[in-house]
Amino acid sequence: MSVTLGPLLPVVVIDDADTARPLAEALRDGGIRHIEVTLRTPAALDALREMATVDGVTVGAGTVLTGEQADAATAAGASFLVSPGWDAALGEHMRRRDLTWLPGVATPSEAMAARAAGFSRLKLFPVELLGGVAFVDALAAVLPDVVFAPSGGIRVDQAADYLSRPCVETVGGSWMAPRDLVARRDFAGVTAASRAAVEALP
């Protein structure tokens, strides 16, 4: 199974599953088609399950650390899975299950290990701490067949610069659905933030 991600991937932390549907609808109405729900809260799986029923969006799970989490997220409707780091055993689990997985890498060695295991779409995290666009360029020069999904500290005004790189498929960040807006149930604000992010792209 393979899922092609859009240019912007909101990374959302959901504390209350009741906000899941209106949040997904708000992001969609702002032009976002893919959403990563991080498995960082007790509400995450219920939220993912609810979002997966919303027309016009494809939902995945982030912060996947174990095979059990991957299976639970997939059962809840996740179409893709994202991890903050590289784990060979987790990679083997994903391969057996034929799941779309973006493992995280932070070094050339990790990127090489993931690539050797058959994963050529990689989350680059935390990219701004690693050197930002310059680090993407450095890795792309030596791993030309790898596609990156940078995430971690990226601002809305930096997204277009990352996406101008041929090796970058999608950019992850929280600016499209800030946690404080979601907590206040300001879904109109989420739609506005999402629309502004989409319109800022070339």
Domain ranges of the chain: 8-199
**What is the CATH number that goes with domain 8-199?**
3.20.20.70
Q: What is the pLDDT of residue 59?
A: 98
**Which candidate in 25, 36, 50, 169 is catalytic?**
36
Q: How many CA atoms lie within 13 A of 65 on its CB side?
A: 4
Q: 198: which residues sit within 8 A by CB, 6+ positions away?
A: 8, 30, 31, 32
**pLDDT score for 37:** 98
Asked if omega into 150 is within 30° of 0 (cis), the reply is no
- The answer to whether the beta carbons of residues 1 and 98 sit under 8 Å apart is yes
From 123, 128, 169, 199, active-site residue? 123
How large is the greatest C-alpha to C-alpha distance in the chain, in angstroms?
45
Give the pLDDT confidence score for residue 103 in this predicted structure.
Answer: 98
123 tagged catalytic: yes
Q: What is the pLDDT of residues 96-124, one digit of tens each?
A: 999 999 999 999 999 999 999 999 999 99
Low pLDDT (below 70) residues in the chain? 1
Residue 36 bears catalytic tag: yes
pLDDT of residue 1: 62
| Residue 2 pLDDT | 82
This prediction's pTM? 0.96
> In the prediction, which pLDDT does 68 show?
98
**Cα–Cα distance between 65 and 57 in angstroms, integer?**
24
Average pLDDT, the chain: 96
